């Protein structure tokens, strides 16, 4: 994996374990598998899959991975050492970690004397025995062991000798990596730097890792300080998800380590997957992406109109610390109240459409865009709707059908739980008015079904379209139930997928707009050849 | 201002200038005044108010401040040096900054030779003259000058001699502070540390400041590194607002500097205003607060998971890096999937309900909780629904009314845009079945209105309740329009607010569940005295 002579850093992702501790984040087994595959593509060598002893969902995740293994990454199972006054062989948690069937296991143990005595109420020597027994047992059964030293930095500050004893015990028992954890996230970079140096001096030839949390808003800097002091494994999560204030963000650490500091973490072409991986994971866990995230956020390379834009186009170096493309992000010209024609041309170019100042459509698109964006539309996540808007202005939008209106009726009397919604649509197609109705397990499903029934005889290929994702966001939450909603709909046809958007004070109206444009765009894909920028190959 | 012998750090807030560069943030003059007053209360000594030469809104802000001055803070006006080949006295921007009438002014100039030659297309010596003339002119007219060295770190790396010349020019012209700016945010802490040390060696006795951006996710660590290398002024913004990835976050810097590193920034009792100030500013600028923000986020001291909770209750130090009360925040026990019996007991205690392991209701609550969470319910943000669930298990839930069913009808024919939704509800209350209907600007608004009409005669105080926030999330987006949706509803009654949740495959059903529980909880607040933990004082 090492390239040239760059020193190697081993990434260890814990999105699927520590990341899921984030308040408000919950994932299904299928979600976990999708994230694991994305991390594998990204080139992360170690993926912590979960804690099979504590969570039944994680047991199934490991089983499923055995039948569909990842390409390159090692998946590790996580667990604590045995409990006080038991044996490793009879400890159910250790049996669960073995049953996960992974080659690598991660065992965490206590470094802080206070935790040993007050937390788990045992003796300092029994804690050492717990570390030793657990690691030796797992080694005996053929596992490679990563030892996570929990509360390492607090423990070391309180009682350095005892803390170091826990590490030497783990090394002697056969742990391959020792990971120093700042569990409470309270340590600052200069302390990390000093303490990691102390450890490297004390435990020569031992491979060290670092695991930091963001409670002091310095998780990334802490991990960098540890690497510069000798750590060669870096633990973190995608988007910095994690308990409380989160873990060190791998989306920031990877470019800092590899682009800025010259370490080798993943292949250079894999770094370009970073922005996409960040967004993919936020979609899977269904959290709004942080638009202001370093490197991968939508605003990370956003420039406002005017002098700034022409300066950045002349020499990007003057306003951008790295090239956005290196991390798979892109420069974005912000369309604001002062937006000019040149901004629209620059923005259209990011969608692969060439406009020029002389074309009257350019100004028309600008006006339309401004009006729609002020209503709450947003086209960055809905390229298909943006392309329809541009084609409308350019006179190249084909009218396949026209929805004249729709009605939705929901009846939720007690006991009536399925097909409780009925939708009626009136669609003009090929000069005829078609009226159709359908039921569904909710108003949007009913609406989608009614539209398809109305159109299928005219456009049989509609049967191949599938509505594959549906998201709703409230735009001005303080307006309560009168708030505007934005619906995003992702459609696919077996080979491609595309996204459309709708906005309305009525949640059903917003959904309907996006569903209708999704069908229209799919039909256009069959007859013409819309630009590749708005469709994604599955 | 200095207390004991702690070294003093001067805070310089630029929320009102650099902060407003954040994409999606815009403020009125009144908003700016409210934020300035909150910063004054917090004890921030320097508040950058705006750029009067570039923004007419900022001119008015400064005028208004002259009639209603702040208590302690110095407000500074911001501006660039004069342009090339002009004189300071005839430069309109400098006239505008003088007209702002502040005692302190901040002038920024170019440090990077590349920017001088390529950006403003002038000579290196003319750039020095621009810095000198502008500062001398402002000094002559009685202003104290802070000099912001724009792109300092990139400039110094590219041409250290010239970069240092710009600083010595500013010092000789009479600047009182020299602020080193990492304008592109690309510098890492170890470089900041090295370069600030170089500057302190070169410019002895000069007061240095630091201004960092978060493009490398290290803005806070960068500012700390600069302080440890000799800087005594720290610039940043509340909540880290700022262009692209934001500025250094003062809400993280203040506790790191004062609680952890022993510097004196503001009074100790003012630090306890930090969480409140953070939330206040996010309210004023109308952005959702970052719940995971270090120190001040709602989740910053939230604890999840069994063992962890009992440990933190025994000895908070073991899982909290500072006391949450020091920054005006609080500890919070989170109810989640991983909850054990001890979590439920701890959570119940925060509602003023005493449970114990022997009480069969405890296990019943836990089972119910797990079943609902596996359906997609989430009580982390919906404490009022959780309290209703607990009261149900304990037999103390009062039945104010029972919704027997509802129907919703939406008609979105072309041209019909308001009151397009009609809702009908059937409610049993005091032994009677009440049938009511109402229209609305969307199905949820109609449903809410119909319920209120049905209940108002029985519970007149319902007229005081307001539905103040409404959020929808799709739980399993891959199921398309058949996905489950979760609706969160925040209600308020003038003094308090509370949040309820509903989950269903039908988006209207999910919303209805949350609306109904919101009304029920509000009625309970009037008759009994539910514990303060599920309600928030407005």
Contact call for residues A213 and A248 (beta carbons, < 8 A): yes
- Looking at the structure, tell me whether residues A58 and A27 fall in a common domain: yes
Tell which of A391, A407, A440 closes a domain. A391
Report DSSP state, residue B120.
S
| Residue A137 CB neighbour total at 10 angstroms | 22
Q: Which residues contact B165 (CB under 8 A, 6 or more apart)?
A: B128
| Sign of the CA dihedral with B470 first, then B474, B480, and B483 last | negative
In this prediction, residue B420 carries a pLDDT of 82
Residues 139-158 of chain B with CB under 8 A from chain A are 151
- Looking at the structure, tell me whether residues B473 and B423 fall in a common domain: yes
- Looking at the structure, tell me whether residues B366 and B408 fall in a common domain: no
Whether B292 is in a domain gets the answer no
Tell which of B394, B429, B447 closes a domain. B394
With an 8 Å Cβ cutoff, are A468 and B478 in contact? Answer: yes
- Looking at the structure, tell me whether residues B78 and B196 fall in a common domain: yes
- Looking at the structure, tell me whether residues B279 and B380 fall in a common domain: no
Task: Judge whether A473 is closer than 8 Å to chain B, CB to CB.
Answer: yes
Backbone φ and ψ for B382, nearest 5 degrees, come out as -135, 65
Segments of B340-480 assigned E as strands: 402-411, 421-429, 432-440, 466-474
All residue ranges of chain A with pLDDT < 50 are 1-3, 336-338, 528-533, 538
What is the 3-state composition of chain A as percent helix, strand, coil, each rounded to the nearest 5? 45, 20, 35
Chain length of chain B: 538
Domain total in chain B: 3
State the nearest Cα–Cα gap between A408 and chain B, in angstroms: 5
Residues 333-362 of chain A with CB under 8 A from chain B are 334
Whether B293 is in a domain gets the answer no
- List, for residues A348-387, the tens digit of each pLDDT value: 776 667 777 788 888 888 778 777 876 777 775 677 888 8
Exposure b/e, B3-20, CB count within 10 A at least 16 = b: eeeeeebbbbbbbbbbbb
* Nearest CA-CA partner of A14 in A292, A231, A253: A253
Rounded Cα distance, A426 and A403, in Å: 6
- Looking at the structure, tell me whether residues B179 and B267 fall in a common domain: yes
- Looking at the structure, tell me whether residues B443 and B368 fall in a common domain: no
- Looking at the structure, tell me whether residues B426 and B501 fall in a common domain: yes
What is the 3-state composition of chain B as percent helix, strand, coil, each rounded to the nearest 5? 45, 20, 35
- List, for residues A382-405, the tens digit of each pLDDT value: 778 888 888 888 888 888 999 998
Rounded Cα distance, A448 and A467, in Å: 9
- Looking at the structure, tell me whether residues B181 and B228 fall in a common domain: yes
pLDDT-based confidence at B370, cuts 50/70/90? confident
Tell which of A391, A406, A431 closes a domain. A391
With an 8 Å Cβ cutoff, are B318 and A119 in contact? Answer: yes
Question: Domain containing B467 — which CATH number?
Answer: 3.30.160.270
In this prediction, residue B347 carries a pLDDT of 74
Q: How many Cα atoms sit within 13 Å of A350 on the Cβ side? A: 18
pTM: 0.76
DSSP helix/strand/coil, B489:
strand
State the nearest Cα–Cα gap between B155 and chain A, in angstroms: 10
In this prediction, residue B2 carries a pLDDT of 42
Of B260, B412, B476, nearest to A188 by CB-CB distance is B260
Least confident of A1-5, A84-88, B14-18, B486-490: A1-5
Mean pLDDT of B476-480: 59
Domain extent, residue B357, equals 302-394
Which tokens sit at B345?
């007991």
* Nearest CA-CA partner of B298 in B281, B276, B313, B319: B276
Whether A401 is in a domain gets the answer no
Rounded Cα distance, A198 and A191, in Å: 11
Contact call for residues A174 and A137 (beta carbons, < 8 A): no
Question: Domain containing B97 — which CATH number?
Answer: 3.20.20.70
Rounded Cα distance, B84 and B63, in Å: 29
Whether B223 is in a domain gets the answer yes
Least confident of B78-92, B263-277, B462-476: B462-476
- Looking at the structure, tell me whether residues B434 and B388 fall in a common domain: no
In this prediction, residue B338 carries a pLDDT of 53
- Looking at the structure, tell me whether residues B416 and B320 fall in a common domain: no
Task: Judge whether B87 is closer than 8 Å to chain A, CB to CB.
Answer: no
- Strand-strand pairing, A496-504 and A485-492: antiparallel
Which is more confidently placed, B354 or B263?
A: B263
Whether B343 is in a domain gets the answer yes
DSSP helix/strand/coil, A74:
strand
Residues of B in contact with A472 (CB under 8 A): 472-474, 485, 507
Exposure b/e, A420-455, CB count within 10 A at least 16 = b: bbbbbbbbebeeeebebbbebbbbbbbbbbbbbbbb
Tokens 């570039």, located at residue: B54
Instruction: Spell out the long-range contacts of B453-458 with Cβ–Cβ below 8 A and sequence spacing 24 or more.
Output: B454/B401, B454/B425, B454/B427, B454/B429, B455/B401, B455/B427, B455/B429, B455/B519, B458/B401, B458/B429, B458/B430
DSSP helix/strand/coil, B158:
helix
With an 8 Å Cβ cutoff, are A190 and B228 in contact? Answer: yes
pLDDT-based confidence at B70, cuts 50/70/90? very high
State the average pLDDT for chain B.
88
Contact call for residues B521 and B503 (beta carbons, < 8 A): no
- Strand-strand pairing, B207-211 and A536-537: unpaired
Mean pLDDT of B337-346: 68
Rounded Cα distance, B215 and B246, in Å: 7
Residue B534 has pLDDT above 70, yes or no: no
pLDDT-based confidence at B527, cuts 50/70/90? low
- List, for residues B504-519, the tens digit of each pLDDT value: 888 888 988 999 999 9
* Nearest CA-CA partner of B90 in B135, B129, B137: B137
Classify residue B165 by burial, with Cβ atoms within 10 Å: 0-12, 13-18, 19+. middle
Contact call for residues A146 and A179 (beta carbons, < 8 A): yes
Which is more confidently placed, B60 or A347?
A: B60
Percent of chain B with pLDDT over 70: 91
Cα nearest neighbour of A408 on chain B: B410
Rounded Cα distance, B109 and B115, in Å: 10
Tally C-beta pairs within 8 A across A and B. Answer: 343
Whether B31 is in a domain gets the answer yes
Q: Which residues contact A364 (CB under 8 A, 6 or more apart)?
A: A393
3-state SS record for A3-22: CCCCCECEEEECCCCCHHHC
Q: Which residues contact B320 (CB under 8 A, 6 or more apart)?
A: A184, B301, B312, B331
The strand pairing partners of A208, in sequence order, are A178
Whether B297 is in a domain gets the answer no
Task: Judge whether A306 is closer than 8 Å to chain B, CB to CB.
Answer: no
pLDDT-based confidence at B305, cuts 50/70/90? low
| Helix residue ranges per DSSP H, B298-428 | 306-314, 341-350, 360-375, 383-394
Whether A415 is in a domain gets the answer no
- Looking at the structure, tell me whether residues B220 and B324 fall in a common domain: no
ipTM confidence: 0.76
């Amino acid at each position: 994996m090492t390239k040239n002579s760059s020193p190697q850093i081993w990434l260890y992702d814990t999105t699927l374990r520590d990341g899921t501790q984030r308040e408000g984040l919950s994932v299904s087994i299928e979600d976990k598998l999708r994230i694991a595959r994305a991390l594998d593509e990204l080139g992360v060598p170690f993926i912590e899959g979960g804690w099979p002893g504590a969570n039944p969902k994680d047991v199934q995740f490991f089983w499923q991975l055995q039948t569909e293994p990842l390409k390159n990454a090692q998946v590790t199972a996580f667990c604590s050492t045995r409990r006080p006054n038991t044996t490793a062989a009879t400890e159910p948690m250790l049996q669960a970690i073995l049953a996960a069937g992974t080659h690598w296991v991660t065992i965490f143990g206590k470094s802080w004397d206070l935790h040993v005595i007050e937390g788990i109420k045992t003796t300092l020597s029994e804690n050492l025995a717990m570390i030793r027994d657990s690691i030796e047992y797992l080694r005996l059964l053929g596992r490679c062991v990563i030892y996570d030293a929990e509360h390492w930095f607090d423990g070391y500050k309180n009682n350095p000798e005892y803390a170091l004893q826990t590490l030497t015990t783990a090394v002697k028992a056969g742990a391959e990596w020792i990971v120093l954890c700042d569990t409470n996230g309270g340590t600052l970079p200069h302390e990390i730097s000093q303490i990691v140096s102390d450890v490297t001096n004390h435990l020569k030839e031992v491979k060290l890792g670092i695991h930091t949390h963001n409670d002091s808003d310095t998780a990334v800097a802490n991990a960098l300080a540890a690497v510069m002091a000798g750590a060669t494994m870096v633990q973190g999560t995608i988007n910095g998800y994690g308990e409380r204030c989160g873990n060190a963000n791998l989306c920031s650490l990877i470019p800092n380590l590899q682009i800025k500091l010259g370490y080798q973490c993943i292949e250079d072409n894999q770094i370009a997957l970073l922005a996409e991986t960040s967004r993919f994971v936020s979609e899977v866990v269904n959290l709004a992406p942080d638009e202001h995230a370093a490197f991968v956020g939508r605003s990370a390379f956003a420039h406002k109109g005017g002098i700034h834009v022409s300066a950045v186009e002349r020499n990007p170096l003057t306003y951008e610390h790295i090239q956005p493309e290196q991390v798979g992000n892109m420069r974005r010209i912000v369309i604001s109240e002062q937006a000019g024609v040149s901004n629209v041309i620059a923005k259209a170019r990011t969608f692969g459409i060439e406009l020029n100042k002389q074309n009257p459509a350019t100004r028309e698109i600008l006006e339309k865009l401004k009006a729609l964006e002020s209503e709450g539309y947003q086209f960055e996540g809905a390229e298909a709707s943006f392309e329809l808007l541009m084609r409308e202005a350019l006179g190249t939008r084909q009218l396949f059908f026209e929805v004249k209106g729709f009605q939705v009726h929901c009846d939720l009397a007690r006991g009536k739980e399925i097909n409780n919604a009925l939708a009626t649509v009136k669609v003009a197609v090929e000069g005829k008015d078609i009226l159709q109705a359908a039921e569904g397990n909710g108003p949007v499903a009913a609406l989608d079904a009614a539209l398809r029934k109305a159109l299928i005889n005219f456009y049989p290929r509609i049967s191949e379209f599938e509505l594959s994702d549906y998201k709703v966001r409230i735009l001005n939450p303080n307006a309560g139930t009168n708030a505007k909603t934005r619906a995003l709909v992702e459609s696919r046809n077996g080979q491609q997928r595309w996204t459309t958007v709708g906005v309305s004070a009525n949640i059903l109206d917003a959904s309907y707009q996006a569903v209708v444009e999704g069908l229209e765009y799919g039909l256009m894909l069959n007859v013409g050849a819309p630009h590749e920028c708005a469709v994604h190959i599955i």
